[in-house]
Amino acid sequence: MKTLVTGGVRSGKSTAAERLLADAGQVTYIATGPRSDDPDWAERIAAHRSRRPSHWSTVETSDLPGALARLEGPGLVDCLGTWLTATLDDLEVWEAPQPHWEPTLAQRLQDVVEAWAECPHELVAVTNEVGWGVVPEHRSGRIFADWLGRLNQQVAASSDRVLLVVAGQVLAVKQP
């Protein structure tokens, strides 16, 4: 079973995703967020760590396809949005002309989608829902929203189930 859990910031999507694997035994938590000395970011990471069962293992990486390929059991990816941010940073997208990075970024998204589809284990991925508001004023916001929207669509198409979390309430968008 592959499940994509989407929702807005602080919607409860990570908690909902963790509950889906609560009875799965040994789970590998794939943390894709960037390392940062930002106190707010550190607080968010600490809150996530404190909720996870102690017997779950954690892999902190931006090599999401590699982490999915190495899984030996159920996995939880948190989150596709932070993976995309790290990838955009790695490609120096924010100031580079589009033709330079777009083919590489498209390939990296495809690599994630293929690794997701080919993984033989139960998977849950968390992502941010984007695009329900105005088109972002700044180029960086438009790039992020456009590419995460594409990634979300592709992962959802390769998933058995898609759940939307709104104010802590889980709504089934796609069921097996």
CATH code at position 11? 3.40.50.300
- Alpha-carbon dihedral angle through residues 52, 15, 140, 173, given to the nearest 10 degrees: 140
């997701």: which residue's tokens? 116
Number of domains forming the structure of the chain? 1
Q: Give the active site residue among 48, 55, 121, 138.
A: 48
Mean pLDDT of 83-110: 90
State how far the alpha carbon of 23 is from the alpha carbons of 42, 55, 122, 144, in Å.
28, 12, 12, 34
Give whichever of 35-49, 53-67, 145-159 has the largest mean pLDDT: 145-159
Interatomic CA distance for residues 132 and 117, integer angstroms: 27
pLDDT single digits (tens) 142-166: 999 999 999 999 999 999 999 999 9
Q: What is the separation of C-alpha 114 from the centre of its chain, rounded to a whole number of angstroms? A: 15
Active site residue 138: no
Q: What is the separation of C-alpha 115 from the centre of its chain, rounded to a whole number of angstroms? A: 13
Find the domain containing 16 and state its range.
2-138+146-174
- Alpha-carbon dihedral angle through residues 26, 112, 161, 142, given to the nearest 10 degrees: 130
Instruction: With a cut of 80, say whether residue 98 has pLDDT above it.
Output: no
Asked whether the beta carbons of 166 and 8 are under 8 A apart, the reply is yes
Instruction: With a cut of 70, say whether residue 36 has pLDDT above it.
Output: no
Asked whether the beta carbons of 103 and 171 are under 8 A apart, the reply is no
